[in-house]
Amino acid sequence: MTADAVVFERVSKSFGAVRAVDDVSFALPRGALVTLLGPSGCGKTTTLRLIAGLELPTRGRIEIAGRDVTRLAAAERRIAMVFQSYALFPHMTVVENVAYGLVVGGARRTEAEAEAGAMLASLGLEGLGQRLPAELSGGQQQRVAVARALVLRPEVLLFDEPLSNLDARLRRRVREDIRDLQKRLGLSVIYVTHDQQEALAVSDLVCVMRSGRIAQMGTPTELYDDPADAFVADFMGEANVIAGEVLGPGRIVLGGTTLEAAMRDHPPGPAQIAVRPEAVSLRREGEGLKGRVSRAAFLGQTREYEVETDAGTIFVVTPASAEAFAPGEAVICRLERVIPLRG
Ligand code: ATP
């Protein structure tokens, strides 16, 4: 039982001239929630569909729970997928929807419906079994779609942008529900999203994709604090990426000024340096990068600034409780932490 949930060995998928997935290898652990994150067209959905068996790879090998499934049909893979649109059958009741896969799989209707009822109860949907999907809220429909997938006891549960049909407030609640359920049942979940906050909030591991390849895979904090390159730095939250130089441990040059800041080890020499907006504090005097505020905005919990410096324009976010500055004021940017990029 130690096999990974999903393994890709040098998997490619082309559609004509487009390489939607380009020589991708990874091992996604069991019992974890892994998100596939990246901009539109980077290959997330194709990767998910390859796992599901809805696409077959042009090259490479795919394993699910230790079994080679490369050439198996979707129905033989012991996966279940929750679609963006939920894809509930509108003319069937909730309990019939959830029981459907079991019935198709050969279970007797009464048993299938009993199991469906138990699954609905464990997701807090008791009492809704006799309704039609149209008589449910968006969040409830989402949970019915999850119940319908889980009742099949899949090795891996796949989610394709599961929250995109929900409003912002509900989205946060439903993503917490999915995360709680995943932890409670120890499910192996692969989750596609293009929303980096959603990915940070729910994942054990995030796999950032770019142009059909994996840009970086790691825990949310690894990707945020230690992005490999400017693409990942910028995609995982915001970053000021500045051409500078590393002098030695904790010492860099930006815009001609020598600065001290916490940073990971990096060989001395020219480097792209990423600076998170919240890793900068603004002062009136002291050591740091001199600049002038060109824009200032109050956002309630935070203040946002643009500061013109010799190293270029730096975007800064400070807590609203910190001292406020107005456009035109001279400031010192103190960099608490910087990230020298490898790529
Ligand atoms: P989005 O967030 O927009 O859904 P994505 O990251 O999920 O994007 P994919 O849907 O996997 O990206 O698409 C990757 C690339 O493959 C894109 O260039 C897309 O146009 C192409 N592609 C995907 N499916 C097909 C198909 N069935 N036929 C032709 N090209 C396709």
Cα–Cα nearest to 26, from 245, 257, 213, 252: 213
Is residue 231 included in any domain, yes or no? Answer: no
Is residue 185 included in any domain, yes or no? Answer: yes
Closest CA to ligand 1's atom 18 = 41
Of 225, 246, 263, which residue sits at a domain end?
Answer: 225
State pLDDT tens for residues 303-323: 999 999 999 999 999 999 999
Q: Tell me how far CA of residue 107 lies from CA of 115, 157, 165, in angstroms.
A: 10, 21, 32
Give the ligand 1 atom nearest the CA of 16: 29
Is residue 269 included in any domain, yes or no? Answer: yes
Give the ligand 1 atom nearest the CA of 42: 6
Q: Tell me how far CA of residue 47 lies from CA of 24, 50, 313, in angstroms.
A: 9, 5, 37
Is residue 52 included in any domain, yes or no? Answer: yes
Closest CA to ligand 1's atom 11 = 43
Task: Determine the straight-line distance between the first and last CA of the chain, rounded to whole angstroms.
Answer: 37
Alpha-carbon distance of 172 to 97, in angstroms, equals: 25
Residues 194 and 256 in one domain: no
Three-state SS for the chain is: CCCCCEEEEEEEEEECCEEEEEEEEEEECCCCEEEEECCCCCCHHHHHHHHHCCCCCCEEEEEECCEECCCCCHHHCCEEEECCCCCCCCCCCHHHHHHHHHHHCCCCHHHHHHHHHHHHHHCCCCCCCCCCHHHCCHHHHHHHHHHHHHCCCCCEEEEECCCCCCCHHHHHHHHHHHHHHHHHHCCCEEEEECCHHHHHHHCCEEEEEECCEEEEEECHHHHHHCCCCHHHHHHCCCCEEEEEEEEECCEEEECCEEEECECCCCCCEEEEEEECHHHEEEECCCCCEEEEEEEEEECCCEEEEEEEECCEEEEEEEECCCCCCCCCCEEEEEECECEECCC
CA of 161 to the centre of ligand 1 (A): 14
- Mean pLDDT per 10-residue segment, the chain (343 residues): 89 96 96 95 96 96 96 92 84 93 89 91 87 88 90 92 80 86 91 91 95 96 92 91 94 95 93 96 94 97 97 96 96 96 80
Of 193, 225, 257, which residue sits at a domain end?
Answer: 225
Alpha-carbon distance of 170 to 162, in angstroms, equals: 12
User: Dihedral angle at the C-alpha atoms of 73, 78, 84, 85, nearest 10 degrees?
Assistant: 80
Closest CA to ligand 1's atom 16 = 20
Residues 243 and 183 in one domain: no
Q: How many CA atoms lie less than 13 Å away from 11 in the CB half-sphere?
A: 30
Is residue 200 included in any domain, yes or no? Answer: yes
CA of 12 to the centre of ligand 1 (A): 13
CB within 8 Å of 141: residues ≥ 6 apart: 86, 88, 133
Residues 220 and 242 in one domain: no
CA of 13 to the centre of ligand 1 (A): 10
Closest CA to ligand 1's atom 21 = 20
Residues 12 and 40 in one domain: yes
Ligand 1 close to Cβ of residue 193 (< 6 A): no
Average pLDDT of the chain, as a whole number? 92
Residues 209 and 293 in one domain: no
CA of 162 to the centre of ligand 1 (A): 17
Q: Are the C-beta atoms of 72 and 228 separated by less than 8 Å?
A: no
Ligand 1 close to Cβ of residue 210 (< 6 A): no
CA of 51 to the centre of ligand 1 (A): 15
Closest CA to ligand 1's atom 20 = 41
CATH number, domain with residue 252: 2.40.50.140
Residues 286 and 335 in one domain: yes
The whole domain housing 254 covers 238-340
Closest CA to ligand 1's atom 15 = 20
Is residue 230 included in any domain, yes or no? Answer: no
Alpha-carbon distance of 64 to 300, in angstroms, equals: 47
Residues 144 and 94 in one domain: yes
Ligand 1 close to Cβ of residue 44 (< 6 A): yes
Of 225, 254, 275, which residue sits at a domain end?
Answer: 225
Give the ligand 1 atom nearest the CA of 194: 2
Residues 98 and 207 in one domain: yes
Residues 116 and 22 in one domain: yes
Alpha-carbon distance of 60 to 64, in angstroms, equals: 14
Residues 71 and 213 in one domain: yes
Mutate to test the pocket of ligand 1, among 14, 15, 21 (most ligand atoms within 8 A of CB): 15
Is residue 72 included in any domain, yes or no? Answer: yes
Burial of 47 (0-12, 13-18, 19+ CB in 10 A): buried
Residues 221 and 263 in one domain: no
State pLDDT tens for residues 64-89: 999 999 999 998 999 998 887 778 89
CA of 14 to the centre of ligand 1 (A): 10
Ligand 1 close to Cβ of residue 298 (< 6 A): no
Give the ligand 1 atom nearest the CA of 43: 11
Is residue 232 included in any domain, yes or no? Answer: no
CATH number, domain with residue 110: 3.40.50.300
> How many domains does the chain divide into?
2
Residues 275 and 142 in one domain: no
